[in-house]
A = this chain, B = another copy of it.
Amino acid sequence: MQGPTSVPRATGRPRSAAADTAILAATREALVELGWSKLTLGDVATRAGVAKTTLYRRWAGKNELVVDAVAELFDELELPDRGSLAADIEGVVLQFAVILARPETKSGLMAVLAESTRDDALRARIRASIVDRQKRLVLAGRARAETRGELAPETDPEEAARTVDLIFDMVAGAVVHRCVVSAEPADEEWVRSFTRVLLLGLTSA
């Protein structure tokens, strides 16, 4: 999912990897300054120092380009061991909030999500590049909590999958809504309150 058409030809002049990174960086820069609707591919090409045609040879359009540009922002998410399930969740939620606080993340992610409601291929690309990629955090956190004895190991795999999806919807949904719609900072205090409600709801079973 990284980059455009990831099929390297055996012969001929190879594609410039530097151009890829320059284009994606220029896209994020343009997202910050212009937002989604005023972002033009010609402007991105100029910022990146490449020709507009080069951009069109690698990406089909605005949507695909922005998905790749935004996806890289989420790769820095980690799940450091903070000793308890509550602390682990607070940590990763706070990281998520920091990334979402950036204007390029908000503008880009929301816009491609809006487009994905009428474009199944785009939605699949988003899921593969961003959503499913980060669901690993939920799985890792659950596994770590089970080894600590904080959570009972789930026997039914289908039920476990449903729970993971529910947690992901609740965490990502609440943080996005807080940052984008309510437009107020998801700071430590808010994250603590949210984590407390979530964890109490999950463990009071």
Residues of A within 8 A of B (CB): 34-37, 62, 103, 106-107, 110-111, 113-119, 123, 126-127, 131, 162, 165-166, 168-170, 172-178, 180-184, 190, 193-194, 196-202, 204-205
Chain A contact residues: over half helix, strand or loop, or mixed? helix
When the two chains form their complex, are residues A182 and B197 in contact, meaning their CB atoms are under 8 A apart?
no
Complexed CA–CA distance, A172 and B172 (Å): 11
Least CB separation from A120: chain B residue = B183
9 A-B pairs with least C-beta separation: A201-B201, A173-B177, A173-B173, A110-B114, A35-B118, A197-B201, A111-B114, A106-B117, A173-B174
When the two chains form their complex, are residues B176 and A177 in contact, meaning their CB atoms are under 8 A apart?
yes
Least CB separation from A175: chain B residue = B173
Specify which chain B residues have a CB less than 8 angstroms from the CB of A193 in the assembled complex.
162, 166
User: A35, A126, A197 — which one has the most chain B CB atoms within 10 A of its CB?
Assistant: A197
